[in-house]
Amino acid sequence: MQASNLCLLSVAVIYMVLAWSEPSNACGDAMCTCSNGVLLSCPNVAWLSVIQNGVTNVSASAFENNTNAQLIDLHLNKLVHVPDGMVDATYNLESLYLHHNKLVDIPDGLLDAIPKLLYLDLEGNQLTRLPDGLFDATPRLNTLYLGDNKFVQLQAGLFDTTPGLRHLFLEKNHFVHLPDRWFKALPQLFILSLVDLPLPYLPSGVPRYTPQLQYIYLEHSFPQNLRLCAIKYPKDFSKSENRIDAGSVWSYIASSGVPQGSILGPTLFLLNVCDIDQCLTPGTKLSTYADDTAMYHLVLPTDDPANPGHRLQGALDRLYLWGESWRIRF
């Protein structure tokens, strides 16, 4: 065997031995230290990831030396509680992932020492409440996941100190009412997820106080309100291009339209488009099937050879004006 190959083989064997002899109390991608399911300490690195390691508890001093940490990810463990002051030393922290554990509460001052926090994920736990003033020290919070917990009601002033919150996910809880005060405090809200909530109606503060709101996810939520939002010309929604997602995939601008999948839907659709043929110009044709419409042009001998599409363009211009009159945007 050549010397170079022997050297490479030796290095590979040494690497395998070192990997195999890794300390049994190491956990996570960042080589944190665990013992009997308790996270004890982590190195001072920017990203700390201890995912799906069976962690049941976190020492109060686990992150006391982690001044460089920008992200801490503890999701898919078995945490029931986290200690107050757990992240007090991580004043540069921007992202905290605690989702899909078994958390039943959040300590009152958990976020008090991390004013740079942008992203907080508490989804998939057993939470029923959040402490008063939880977000008082996190004015930069941008994204908040609270879905798949057991919330029935939360404080009206919960978001008074998070004016920059852009993405709010509340799905799969037990809310029957969302305070208008929430949305008055969230003028920058861009995405709102209300999937699978027993709300009887869309909160009146949406979109009245949320001019930046573009996406509302409503799958499996208050179908009677979905009909109200989808039927022609809802006054509030026509003022801004708010989007409603009534399913897992489809989004549409809720400035016009008819409810799909309903008994009256086809009739309302026909009433909506029955005069669309008035947009035709000589040589243009319409082909329709269900809710699809195609317009095309037959080139005539009388058409200008230098601009054979001018009649089609004229029909498209008339179609645009027809849409404007019916408040349908193309």
pLDDT at res. 251 = 41
pLDDT at res. 170 = 95
pLDDT at res. 264 = 73
Instruction: In whole angstroms, give the CA distance from residue 228 to residue 292.
Output: 23
- For 230, the 3-state DSSP assignment is helix
| Cβ within 8 Å of residue 306, ≥6 positions away | none
pLDDT at res. 303 = 63
Q: Determine, yes or no, domain membership for 154.
A: no
Per-residue tens of pLDDT for the chain, all 330 residues: 544 444 433 333 323 322 333 444 667 665 889 999 999 999 998 999 898 889 999 999 999 989 999 999 999 999 999 999 999 999 999 999 999 999 999 999 999 999 999 999 999 999 999 999 999 999 999 999 999 999 999 999 999 999 999 999 999 999 988 999 999 999 999 989 888 888 887 777 887 888 888 888 877 776 454 443 333 333 343 333 444 444 433 344 445 556 666 667 777 777 777 777 777 776 778 887 766 788 877 776 666 666 666 777 777 877 777 776 676 766
- Amino acid of residue 51: I
Please state, as a whole number, how many other Cβ atoms lie within 10 Å of the Cβ of residue 118.
18
Alpha-carbon distance values, 226 to 139, 157, 189, 199, 294 (Å): 33, 27, 20, 11, 28
| Alpha carbon 135 to chain centroid, angstroms | 19
- Domain with 289, as residue range(s), is 275-325
Location of structure tokens 């037990």: 174
Number of domains, the chain: 1
Longest Cα separation, the chain: 87
pLDDT at res. 250 = 36
Go through 284-296 and write b for each residue having 16 or more CB atoms within 10 A of its CB, e for each that does not.
Answer: beeeeeeeeeebe
Alpha-carbon distance values, 221 to 130, 225, 244, 250 (Å): 23, 9, 12, 15
Q: Determine, yes or no, domain membership for 113.
A: no
| Cβ within 8 Å of residue 109, ≥6 positions away | 84, 85
- Amino acid of residue 145: Y
Instruction: In whole angstroms, give the CA distance from residue 28 to residue 46.
Output: 14
Q: Are 24 and 47 in contact (CB under 8 A)?
A: no
- For 182, the 3-state DSSP assignment is helix
Task: Name the phi and psi angles at 21, rounded to 5.
Answer: -95, 20
193 pairs with which residues across the strands? 169, 217
Q: Are 32 and 42 in contact (CB under 8 A)?
A: yes
Q: Determine, yes or no, domain membership for 246.
A: no
144 pairs with which residues across the strands? 120, 168
Instruction: In whole angstroms, give the CA distance from residue 70 to residue 48.
Output: 8
Report the residue count for the chain. Answer: 330
- Amino acid of residue 85: G
Q: Determine, yes or no, domain membership for 314.
A: yes
Instruction: In whole angstroms, give the CA distance from residue 208 to residue 287.
Output: 39
Structure tokens at 143: 């994204």
